[in-house]
Structures are given as structure tokens and as C-alpha cells.
Amino acid sequence: MVRPLGMGKSSCRFSALIFAAVAPLLPAAGRAPQPPQSPGFSNIDAIMNRAVAEGNIPGGVVLVGHNGSVVYHKAFGMRSLEPTREPMTTDTIFDLASLTKCIATTTAMMQLFEDGRVRLNDPVSKYLKEFAQNGKQDITIRELMTHYSGLPPDLDLSAPWQGRDAAYRIVMAEKLQNPPGSRFVYSDINFETLGFLIEQVTGESLDSYTARHIFGPMGMKDTRFLPPKEWIPRIAPTQYDEHEVMLRGVVHDPTARRMGGVAGHAGLFSTAGDLSKFAQSLLSGSPVLSPLAIEKMSTPQQPPNASSQRGLGWDIDSPFSTNRGELLPVGSFGHTGFTGTSLWIDPVTDTYIIILTNAVHPRGHGSAIALRSEIATAVASAFHLTVSEKDKLRLARITGYNESMMAARRIVARNGEVKNGIDVLESHDFRELQPDAAHPRKIGLVANQTAIDRQGRRTADVLAHVPGLQLAAIFSPEHGFEGKLDTTAIGNSRDPATGAPVYSVYGATDAQRRPPADALASLDAIVYDIQDVGVRYYTYETTLGYFLEAAAKAGKEIVVLDRPDPLGGAYVQGPVADAGRESFVSYWQTPVRHGMSIGELARLFNGERKIGAKLTVVPMQGWVRGDWFDSTGETWTNPSPNMRDINEAALYPGIGMIEATNVSVGRGTDTPFELVGAPWIDPAALAGYLNAREIDGVRFVPVHFTPSSSIDANQLCGGVNLVLTDRNALDAPELGIEIASALLKLYPSQYRIPGLDTLMVNKASFDALAAGEDPRRIAEDWQDEDAKFEALRAPYLLY
């Protein structure tokens, strides 16, 4: 634990006139001895002195911790300008404003999570029954803590009200501004609600609970709500209130003030020394939170694909995180307070920065926003901070992308030149297949129309003309070798160009979908070369699994020629398939969108299912995880008859999931998977409902269409055309359950939902949807399992 430095009061006074002249230029006089200074910290002195001189702040305290020690702790300028003038000291007590959310409320909530008294994805109304009013019944605790609840920024203060109970009634009756989970809106109401929830669950007032369970055990003797009168001389005043009374020891936030000074969003007072104890404990071990709880609250917990990265209570990368500065890595975390306070913590470089000012003093015209960023940058520069390879992996894990590999998330599109596995194999002179001119090796090729190289030559033709290899058999998956058939009645044939027999491994029965043992018996090796679409229920993935099993059983080598996941490899989305429900549309327990290339999937299947095949993956060259297909420089070849472009592929993880229900998804039209409809749907009603849900990345246009095949063939359907507006923001599996939920609400007697779980393969999600739960709440429950899958897949990734 770091001991705070310099807690003594100043014992000497300058005259007001002299001090006013020199205070902006010198550190405050009379404080306790300062810790040793690095030469680089002179920049912090200059930044603070300039902010004081320019009137942005009356004064402030800066404390920096690094590698377990306080390395900088100084006070600058004035603690008070009006009605009296007082110098700033390092032990000054500040109104923390919104830092209350992190220090008090979030810590208390994490303790309740650890004790099992609340759950992150529980609806708030489970604990506060009245909260369910006005459509708030599905707001979860996670959505409150990440500011994705849909509630407005603050309570209405235009009407007179006073007291904690009045605030409680107003919060419970508050109406939604946006659908829960749809938008990041920083809201004090979120944390006011959490304050009430803590009190309800613990049976204690928020100030009492935090004093006994957080500040007491941590030795934070100068931290509390409702500071006593004897603290007032050390408290930095904030601003004149509406009655021209200077607020000093009374909370500045008007809502918290009306609530009596104790609220989940504001009201806490503390010193830089106490906050250093708190910050250091999050880095090196806390007496009040476990390492797992600290990790949970300081890593992204917002809805998938949301643009603002928020932990539980803590900010990571959002419009409010300017206090991170320019050099500290994304993946650090912190928060600010309206009065001019700031705390930023970086586990990667073992650094924290505390900036406490009363910038609103005396009349609310100051600002510490630019100051925070400048100081954070100066600190990072002074330390010459570096990020180790180990910590780069941590950054990748907690932010979803690695700053040293920006393409993983940040590149939206690029002009790439990717070589697929077949192209790499050719450049290697086919060494992975070990050609033998004296005794040509018999090769079996699992392929369809997507198996072509960059010159447009079929893989079958290429292999058939390699000296030392004999193309002895071709195995065709669903839709046949040419990819044109939409039937289970696909028989064996012969490829006219190569003369090789073509064995169909698709049909109505399990046996028809597996490679025939007699066809494998004479082979020396199997080559798999098929373009996947990165979705669990796309059957080419199961065909891959069946060939891995067959190769292992027959003792044959299997070589997978890798191809990109056309949806990119950066995102993992959707429910993980239930164990024990494996089928041709669910080979293993992967999420709907797994973010893996076909070669990576082969490695995963072979390892996690303990298949033990003699597997070789010929990797691509030039592909990065952030690449969508249109960044690869390759020409799109329809992997199946109804998968005609990248937009349809982007929508497929959601629209494909619902096609086992009784709606058309556009098969038999020119735009499959871009349409959803049925004869009994009112287009305007469905479009209006879905657009009101504010689903990121997509808009809904009312349409009529008549499919020529599949469900509702030759019938006029009402429905929606899905217009993709931002594919990186879209969570397609969640889109699927949003549409299913809408149909269930609008057409409960016509929409038949049971078929949905055929492809979703997640009974908990299906049951929740059938019970009418909010889709965003259901999708929240996917996040933990998706995170576990990301960790599971990591050893098998090639790029």
C-alpha cells in the first residue's frame, strides 16, 4: 500500500497581495516535503502554473504513482479565491463530483457481485420493483453501469422537489429516452438508481455502507459523504449556489444536493492522498475487491460493437476519456468529475494520475478538460513508458484490438492483396503435399466452385497437373461441385475436365454427408479448399469436421488450404451452441459468428474435439483479422446460390438464423437475406417498430416482394428491406433475435417461433425470447460465453 505524502497544513501565510502575484508561478508554500522529482516532471509544473495563471483553475493538486510508489505530489495556486483567499495544500479535500460513481458506487456494486447478492445481467426491477414503470423493466444492471440504459442524462430540476425519497420516486417513474442497450448516453440517473439498489440490497444507507466496507478497510480517513464541520477549513470551495452562498463542504451537484448530499452519482469528498491508496490497490491488490472483480470492472462491458468502450462504472475509450492523454494506451481506465477532478489508472505501465482541482470556483467559468490531457501526456512522456509484448496481448484482450496491430479493429477497409492457401501452396511448389514423380501421391480434393486461385484456375485443375500428384477423387459439399444445386438429391458424378470421380458428401441423411470410407482408402492425402462465410450453421464447416474425423480414422493426412473469413476475424458474436446438440448445422460449441478462418477452425476442431488428425494448414499471406472480404483484393465467388455479395454475408448471421421460422428471408428474390417478410406482415408496422429499436448498423424500409421459391413462394409478402448502414457496428445475431422478437410482439398468433432454435442452438436464449425478454438483455447474456470462446480459440489463431 502506498502511503500518502505531505498531509500537513501550511503553517505560514503570505499577504493576499503578495501571494496573488507569485502563486501562479510557484508551488504552494508550507506543505510537507515533496517526493524526489524526475527532471521530466517540470512539464507538469509548467502546465499547472499556466492553468492557474490563465484563470482556468484557481489551483489544484497533482499526484502521480508509478511502479508501486508515489513519485510526484504537489499543490499549486489557491484553494479559495472567494470569499477568502487561501493557498492550496496537498492535503486539501475536494468535492469529487462524478468520481463518486467509480470510487463509491462501482466498488460497492462489485462487492455485491462478488458476494452473489446481485448479477450483472439481472434486470434492475428484480431488486427495485417500482423501476419497471414506463418500459424500464428490461434495463439491466450492466446497462446502468456502462451508461447504455436508455435513460436521460439527469433528473428534471425545473420542478421543486427535495429529499432522497422524492428523488427515488422520480427515478422510478422516469421514462426512457432510447431503447435500452442502443446508445451510449452518460446519465447520472444510472448511478442514482445504483445507489438506491445498493441501499435496498444491503439494508444500509450508501454513505454508511461505503464507510464501513470500503473507506474504513482501505484506511481512507479523509474520504466520505457529508464531511463534518471540522473538515471545512481543508475543503476546496466550489461555486456560489442559487442563493449566492459559496458551497464548501456541501456537494456541488444540484441533484445530489437536493437528495441530501448522498447519491450514487455524486457527493463524495476526498484527498489526493486517499485516492492514491485506492488507485494503488487496484494495481497491486485491494483489501475490498478481488483481482477478478477489478479486472471485470476495468475491461469493456458495453454492448458488443458499441463505439464507446466502458467498463463497469469506469471509462476506457469514449468521448469522456480525454484525461487518458495522447500516450497512455487504450486499455487503461479512469473517470472525471465536473468540479475539475480526474483519476486515470494504467495497469500496463503500472501508473496512475490524480488531478484534483476546483475548476468551477468561484462562479463556474473554469475548466480542467485540456489540463487533464496535457498532464497525462506529460507523465507518460516523463517516464518514457513502454508496452511489453505480454501487455500488448493484454491490450488486445481487453480492448478487442491491439494498438500494434491496428488492422484488427480500426481499419474499416483497405486495398489488400491476400494470397489464399492455394496460392501459397503453388508458390511453395506444392511441398506440403510431398509430390513424388516416381510414385505419384493420390490426392482427394474437398472443393466446390470457390476453390480457385488468383489466376482464376480451379484448384482441381491445378492439382491435376502437378508432377508427382494424382487427383484421384473430388468430394463436393452442399450445393454440389459447381455450387448451383439447392437440393439434397445430389448424386455422384465425374469431373469432365480432370476425369476425377466426384463424390457427393451432402444429402438427407448423416451417412450421405460423410466421406465414404472406400473412397478414402486408396488416397494418400486429403486437401480441403472451400470458401466459408464465418457462420456456425453454414454447413461447409461441418463438412470440414467430418473430413477431419474420417482422415483421423483412416490414418490419412489432411491439408487445409486457408481462405479468409469474409466477415473478418475481429468480432465474435451470438450465442454459443449448446453442448450435446451437435448436428450438420452445428458441428461444435462455437458462437454464431466465430471470427475464424477455415484453417483456424480446422485447428480448433482437431484440438478441442480431440480428433487427432494429421493436419496441415497452408496459411494465407497478407490477411489481417480486421479484413472484410472486400479488403482482400479477391473476386467474390458465390459460396452458395443465395450468398451473392458481402452485404448478404454480413446480414446472414442474423437473418439466416430466423429462416427456420415461418417467414421468407428473400430466397427466390434478387436480394436473399436482405428481405424479411410474410403475407401476414404489415410492412409499415414492422419497419416502424424495428427502426424505433435503434439497432446499430441497419435501417428497415417497408416493402412488398414475391419470392419465387422457398417459404411463401409465389405469394405477395409484406416485410422489410434491410439496409446495411455500418457493418462494423452491426451485431447480426442480435439483429436476428430483434426481428424474431418484433414478429412475436406484433403477430403473436401468426408467427411460429419454435424453428428459431434449429440454427440458434441455444435453449436459454430461445426460452428467454419466447418468454418476451428484451433482445438486448438476451444478447448481454452471450458476452461472457463469447469471451470464454475468444480465450479458447486464441491458441489456434494464425493471424
Q: What is the pLDDT of residue 83?
A: 94
Q: Is the pLDDT of residue 452 over 90?
A: yes
Alpha-carbon dihedral sign for residues 718, 682, 537, 798: positive
Q: What is the pLDDT of residue 485?
A: 86
> Which one, of 626, 619, 585, 587, lies nearest residue 600 by Cα?
619
Helix (H, G, I), strand (E, B) or coil at 293: helix
**The three cell numbers locating residue 519:** 473412397
Q: What is the pLDDT of residue 377?
A: 85
What's the order of all strands across the beta sheet hosting 94-95? 94-95, 268-270, 224-225
Q: What is the pLDDT of residue 4?
A: 31
Q: How far apart are CA 125 and CA 774, in angstroms?
A: 13
pLDDT tens track for 135-179: 999 999 999 999 999 999 999 999 999 999 999 999 999 999 999
Q: What is the pLDDT of residue 388?
A: 53
Q: How far apart are CA 595 and CA 565, in angstroms?
A: 7
Cα torsion at 459, 615, 649, 778 (round to 10°)? Answer: 170
pLDDT tens track for 197-228: 999 999 999 999 999 999 999 999 999 999 99
Give the Å distances, CA to CA, from 39 to 347, 351, 383, 734: 24, 17, 10, 53
CB 371 within 8 A of CB 361: no
Q: How far apart are CA 17 and CA 108, in angstroms?
A: 46
pLDDT tens track for 268-307: 999 999 999 999 999 999 999 999 999 999 998 988 777 7
Q: What is the pLDDT of residue 412?
A: 58
Q: How far apart are CA 321 and CA 310, in angstroms?
A: 10
Q: What is the pLDDT of residue 8?
A: 33
Segment 44-64 shows an average pLDDT of 96
Best mean pLDDT range from 344-348, 487-491, 640-644: 640-644
Residue 758: CB partners within 8 Å, gap ≥ 6? 585, 660
Q: How far apart are CA 219 and CA 383, in angstroms?
A: 29
CB 759 within 8 A of CB 537: yes
Helix (H, G, I), strand (E, B) or coil at 421: helix
**The three cell numbers locating residue 59:** 489551483
Mean pLDDT for the chain? 90
Q: What are phi and psi of 722, to 5 degrees?
A: -90, 120
> Which one, of 525, 515, 760, 564, lies nearest residue 654 by Cα?
760
Q: What whole-number percentage of the chain has pLDDT above 90? A: 82
pLDDT tens track for 5-21: 233 333 332 233 222 33
Q: Is the pLDDT of residue 687 over 70?
A: yes
Give the Å distances, CA to CA, from 703 to 45, 129, 285, 695: 64, 41, 58, 19
Helix (H, G, I), strand (E, B) or coil at 264: coil
pTM for this predicted structure: 0.77
> Which one, of 106, 173, 73, 149, lies nearest residue 315 by Cα?
106
- Which residues in 67-129 belong to E strands, given as ranges? 69-80, 86-87, 94-95
* Lowest model confidence (mean pLDDT) among 28-37, 273-282, 591-600, 608-617: 28-37
Looking only at the bridges linking them, the beta strands covering 441-447 and 224-225 are unpaired
Segment 236-247 shows an average pLDDT of 95
Which band of pLDDT confidence, cut at 50, 70 and 90, is reported for residue 385? low
Q: What is the pLDDT of residue 33?
A: 40
CB 268 within 8 A of CB 104: yes
DSSP secondary structure letter of residue 420:
P
